[in-house]
Chains A and B, each alone.
Chain A
Amino acid sequence: MALRKIQQKEIKSIVPGPVAGIVSLFVPGLGQVLAGSFQRGFLLLGSLGGSAGLFIWRVHLLAHREINLMAKFLKAFDRRPFFVGLIIACILLLWLWNAWDACRQTKPEKKSGPAIFIIIVVIFFSLGWQISEINPYKMFKELPDAIPPLSRVLWPWEAAVEREKEIIGAGAEILVGCGEGELPPIPEEVPGQPYIMSDPRCGDLSSLDENNQIIRGTTLKLTGRGFAPNTKTQIWWIDSLGNEFRPRQEGQYVEFMTDVKGSFEFDLIMPYRLIPPSAKGPQYQRVEAKQISSIGKLIVGDPLRLTLARMAETIFMGMMASFFGIIFAIPVSFLASRNLMSHSWITMLIYYITRTILNIIRAIEPLIWALIAVVWVGLGPFAGIIALTFHSVAALGKLYSEAIESIDPGPIEAIQATGATRLQTIMYAVVPQMIPPFVSFSIYRWDINVRMSTIIGLVGGGGIGFLLVQYIRLLDYRAAGIAVWFIAITVAILDYVSAEIRQRFV
């Protein structure tokens, strides 16, 4: 419709029809321009040039190894026949139509129709589909793989509670390097208590030779008694510095079951461990057998406990950021409202400077502010509060100042006429009019800030996002699910509450 309107007052064509058509075959749209339809010509040139350029880029990506242009097309067609075929067909169609249209435009009664725009839309839609790598087939094909983690996220409550762990265990000292010192004593056996002894009580740790091949250490014959029967038992190694770790054998952590009497015998190869060069005297290390069983009373699991703590942190982060945001935004908003600042050029200058700064701060997302704040004050909720406060001041400053600009000037005039000072005028004529929009915007901002603070942790800004991203990276989908559930619950409650409060106030 817009095109038709413009063409009604168009100039006459300066070339005959066939010439315009041929010209358009060489430079798309030029024929239309010569025929006097400038907008149409530039639109055609833009869409044909743009789509051809984007298409060549995608073809190049599909066949980047081929050097020859023709070979590139053939290879690309081979890989994505539908996409390449469709685009070529559409572009050709558009090109030919463009020539015919140029010819048509030379006639006084200029015609146009929506049909060609459909072709342009088809071209850009197909290019968009290919460029943004949309792949619904993959979505369905990989759904089965996604179901286990997704179902854990959707119903994570098994991880919410766990049983207290009970550990029973016993250990024995081992001397590294027989003859380096006195042999450690044989552990004393107390009836009813678990007991472990090693034979021999000294030996060499596993080590690496110059080709990084492992040299097996001494095999220790471990004998244990008095453990819980038929229970999984882990072996732990404690070096002379007190570092505990679980040795592996054949790539697996050393683990076995005790027999019916609660005894075991196991051959342990002394693990690989470097002795620090500064170590002096005989090095005594320690082997321990541990049985960990979840038989205690039910307790709140770590994920739930941490989630609750972090959720509280998140809500308060949002609250503090809103609080600081409001406090700073109020004076700023007065500086950023045109009607209060328009009485001299100095105040107008302040107005423009304030507005510009607010616009810049607001244009940068809180996540990016958080990245900056993390550099500034380190990881944690304070960084998140700084980021959210910055963004809140800018956003609220703008909203407030727009509210100030839309107030009724009548009362201001009336209060001024009583001989009131500038400050009195603000307090008596501006502030009472500001209260409803201020309250409304502030609560809305609080709502936004809590929602934002749930994700600000993704970049280290503290709050629940910090925990969530850790759980996701550890592939602990149940724990992540608990965090996601609490975010959803909190945001939903907050949404409802803030809507209610705003409704009551305004």
Chain B
Amino acid sequence: MLEIKHLVKIYEDGTQALNDINFKVDAGEFLVIIGLSGSGKSTLLRCINRLIEPTEGKIIWDGVDITSLDQNRLRQTRRQIGMIFQHFNLVKRSNVLTNVLSGRLGYVNPMKTLFYQFPSKDRQMAIDALKRVGILDQAYKRADELSGGQQQRVGVARALMQQPRMILADEPVASLDPVLAHNILGYLEKMNQEEGITVLCSLHYLDLVQRYASRVIGLRDGKIVYRGSKEDIVAMTDDQFREIYGEEAIRVSAGFQDKGKG
């Protein structure tokens, strides 16, 4: 479904964020990317939908190279790929419903949406999406009045509105507490299992990785240093973990183990 070939990203200041990345994602996978901050996880995810332009390499999506698409076809591809962010990236002054509806922007008539008009079936869809993430009662509140967990659920609902075939989640739970982390990842897991939406998710905590991943890639200094199946990651030891995260890293448990497995 998605194949990354020799992906390289060098920023204008000379930083090499990604160095010859190669991997393949099959439909329906829950692929987790692990690695320290600055190891290139965010850059990798943003290169896939070209929020960041890759320097070199190919990103094959359904047999088509995303890096070669023109603006129009890129937008059509982007709308099939939902995205969830660490800091939620909601428009804080707009209300929750508008934030969710903005997930439809790639599908609707651009001129009509300039005046914040959406077809009624899209509005119904937004209400269903909010119902699904359990915050329908907050629909007309301003986004910044919501708590962190609620804001991320708005983020999930916005991604749902795209009727995506794949979701890119950039550390979706790094700003949330453990209980909320499971809540949000639970939604992703459900979408993954029930609707077959492929998920690419970067995570920091090994416990969460062990609980949700169907496959794992480890990044370090822009290179893939680890590839593992679900069995590999469940059996992963602290030493292997340290291998990916560098010598100074210690295993962060943060109490996920019990909740995750129970």
Contacts and interface: CB of A to CB of B under 8 A. Distances in A.
Contacts of B168: 417
7 contacts: A413-B85, A414-B83, A417-B81, A417-B82, A423-B110, A424-B110, A432-B91
Interface stretch (B16-24, B29-37, B101-109, B199-207): B101-109
Interface string A422-451: 011001110011011000000000000000
Contacts of A418: 78-79, 82-83, 102-106, 158, 161-162
B105 A424 contact: yes
Nearest to B94: A432
A411 B90 contact: yes
**The 9 A-B residue pairs with the shortest CB-CB distance in the complex, in nearest-first order:** A419-B106, A419-B79, A410-B89, A414-B89, A420-B105, A419-B78, A417-B83, A419-B75, A411-B91
Contacts of B240: none
A505 to B, nearest CB: 11
B49 interface: yes
Contacts, number: 85
B187 to A, nearest CB: 17
A491 to B, nearest CB: 32
Given A418-B158, A419-B75, A428 B91 contact: yes
Nearest to B49: A417
A421 B110 contact: yes
Given A413-B85, A414-B158, A420 B106 contact: yes
B116 to A, nearest CB: 8
Given A417-B49, A417-B81, A427-B113, A433 B91 contact: yes
B254 interface: no
B76 interface: yes
B114 interface: yes
Contacts of B155: 414
A424 B101 CA distance: 12
B87 interface: yes
Interface of A: 408, 410-411, 413-421, 423-424, 427-429, 432-433, 435-436
Contacts of B161: 418
B235 interface: no
A419 B89 CA distance: 15
A416 B83 CA distance: 10
Interface in B151-170: 155, 158, 161-162, 168
Contacts of A415: 91, 102, 105
Contacts of B6: none
A428 B51 contact: no
Given A419-B76, A419-B79, A423-B114, A414 B90 contact: yes
B93 A436 contact: yes
Interface string B98-133: 100011111100100110100000000000000000
Nearest to A426: B114
B81 A428 contact: no
Contacts of A413: 46, 51, 85, 89
A410 B102 CA distance: 14
Contacts of A411: 89-92
Interface in B62-84: 75-79, 81-83
A417 B51 contact: yes
Given A413-B89, A414-B158, A435-B93, A420 B83 contact: no
Contacts of B110: 421, 423-424
Contacts of A423: 110, 114
B64 to A, nearest CB: 15
A416 B98 CA distance: 15
Contacts of A427: 113-114, 116
Contacts of A419: 75-79, 105-107, 162
B91 A429 contact: yes
Given A423-B110, A428-B91, A414 B85 contact: yes
A428 B90 CA distance: 10
A420 B90 contact: no
A32 to B, nearest CB: 43
